[in-house]
Amino acid sequence: MTVDQIKQRFGIIGRSEKLYRALHTALQVAPTDLSVLITGESGVGKEAIPQVIHAQSARKHHQYIAVNCGAIPEGTIDSELFGHEKGSFTGASASRKGYFEVADQGTIFLDEVAELPMQTQVRLLRVLETGEFIRVGSSKPIKTNVRVIAATNVNVEQAIKDNKFREDLFYRLNTVPIFLPPLRDRKEDIHLLFRKFSSDFAQKYRMPQVKLLPEAIAALENYYFPGNIRQLKNISEQISVIEKERIISKDILMRYLPNATLPVVAQKQQGSDGQRSHDFSERDLLYKVLFDMKKDVSELKMLLAKIMQNDPSVHENKKEIIALLNDSDFSDTSNTSMLLSSDLNENQVSSAFIEPQINTSPIQTDQNFSQHQEIEESLSIVDQEKELIKKALQKHRGKRKNAAKELGISERTLYRKIKEYELS
């Protein structure tokens, strides 16, 4: 069968290249008995691939069993998969066959395989390598001929590093990897899927089918869809049932797209092997912000130093400098604005914005300083800052609000500095 025939038979909607690649791989591997590991985010439709593989294999006339490993309690998972003998544990009133015994000569699909306990992973590895398993409470090995197809939405390689998944089991399952892309990487399929879902719900609820205006289609295709196809289906059902209008505008659609107006942190690209890379963690994001801030501060220092060199009159440039600080959002997180008070002299500005050096080159000015005067070391900045705060508080008779305004900083920063320098 061709990929298009498979899509029609199993009701798979989409024309993206990544979807075609996944289906083509499934068709190629189906006639073999190789183990397959399907990866992809939650809601991308991973359960369809094992059905395609089983239907196109020589095992299609035998049992196909799908098992959600994450839905079975850890205490009973071994019994469910491999069976148990009578009296092997409390409540075992009779012997019972497990899924691997029932699916003999057929196919078993282990969904969310990364949720298996480590002990069960050892049992599964033995089945894959020798075709044997032992029932719970028994010592007699049982032979089985089962094809195993597994799926997971977690990064298995990271799970291995975290000692939550066996590396040998991963390589045994990952004989043929198949990756299903998230819906945001299949933008050309989003409207097709919406039309299919809305048509199905129109028939189910006996109502006219909803249709999207062009601007609504564009908004839908640009949405991030963290829940993928499952989320898109829920949205189409909500709109079909709740909205009286059958022609849906962008404004109506946006009510059903959670956090559609919020910026979305892009995820890293998938690896060549189909495994998901780590999403940006909060720590990574914080580091990125801090590095960006550091870069901006450095550029600001260079700009201000250049201004001081070209124009020795600080007060003439004061408004321009404060405007630059406000545009850069650093007026409340650095000491630069405070150093631009009316009591500031040129030497203080130079020492504040030039990187501290033991032997620094002179700044050429026309006022107050000789051409070869050395820049004051930055160790004195703390004393200067403390003195400026004292002067501002004295000038405004202890009124912190007015003093903060004079210094060009926020009251919060001033409070912190007063506490830090133990000023009364």
Query: Mean per-residue pLDDT for 333-337?
Result: 43
Non-local (6+) Cβ contacts of 311 within 8 A are 317
pLDDT exceeds cutoff 80 at 343: no
Query: Mean per-residue pLDDT for 296-317?
Result: 64
Least confident of 13-22, 206-215, 264-273: 264-273
Tell me, what's the pLDDT at 349?
42
**CATH 3.40.50.300 residue ranges for the chain:** 3-181
The answer, as to whether pTM is greater than 0.75, is no
* Structural fold of domain 3-181: Rossmann fold (3.40.50)
Query: Mean per-residue pLDDT for 99-106?
Result: 96
Instruction: Convert the pLDDT of each residue in 40-62 to its tens digit.
Output: 999 999 999 999 999 999 999 99
Least confident of 134-143, 179-188, 316-325, 397-406: 316-325
Query: Mean per-residue pLDDT for 197-202?
Result: 96
The dihedral through the CA atoms of 3, 8, 14, 19 has a sign that is: negative
Tell me, what's the pLDDT at 323?
56
The domain 184-254 is placed in CATH, from the list 1.10.8.60, 3.40.50.10490, 3.90.1150.10, 1.20.120.1200, at 1.10.8.60
Query: Mean per-residue pLDDT for 152-165?
Result: 94
pLDDT exceeds cutoff 70 at 306: no
> What percentage of the chain has pLDDT greater than the value 70?
73
pLDDT exceeds cutoff 60 at 401: yes
**Do residues 175 and 34 touch, judged by C-beta distance below 8 A?**
yes
**CATH 1.10.8.60 residue ranges for the chain:** 184-254
